[in-house]
Structure 1
Amino acid sequence: MRRRVQLLTLDCAIVIAEEGSFLGASRRLGIHHSALSRRIRDLEHSLGTTLFERHQVGVRPTSAGARLLGSLRRVLTDLDSTLAMVGSAEEGQTGSSLTNFDEPSPATEFLDAIIEVIRSRPDLGLRFVDTKRVVAALP
């Protein structure tokens, strides 16, 4: 089963973990906290697991959430580097940079696949190794 998850939603999950609350994350992101909460609830529903333990004083990632967030940080860092590299190469060739990423891309499909693996194999640990762009999954 393929899932379509927006990169913004994944970024929101990371910011929520960093801020420790939906309210703090909503202020940082400039998104109303109820919309942010709804976005994460939909992500959790799509994954079939709870990513954050909600408390009166804030939130804390569950073990599944911590695994997802750790992998996402690495994947999104790599994606940012790749996009910057493509932009730099494009600037060198034409004098302009590529800035429109609204269309689905292989990166989105890659993230969908990662989410599927995390959901279907919670016992599996993922580790991404940058060795000439080889991605490895280790137990």
Structure 2
Amino acid sequence: MPESPDPRDDGGSRDEPAGPDKKPETEAGPRVSRIRVGDADILVLSVPLPKLCYPEGTTSAEHEIIDLVLQGLTPKEIAVERGASLRTVTTQLGTIFRKAHVNSQTELISTMTGNQKPEDD
């Protein structure tokens, strides 16, 4: 009698690294895996995101704002997203900039993503 298909199987097969060459999930670096769906092979590139190191002394509310800045939102869009006034968000951004030693959202993004510009000598 033929085996019944696994109900959890979506019909695709996954080729992942195995054995001693397999890197742990926590190790940085991109990973390529192949998913077979029907007759097609689909390559999937997984790139781990860097762990964010928020500026010292920032609050959880400020972390949420930083996350929205990193998503590319403007202060007005952040205010709408958070249900806050533009003035409140602008004040919070000023506090974040002071704690992060930056002067703009662009500098904050650069600092948070590790693309700090070299300091002048």
TM-score bucket (shorter structure): 0.3 to 0.5
More helix by share: 1
More strand by share: 2
Higher radius of gyration, 1 or 2:
2
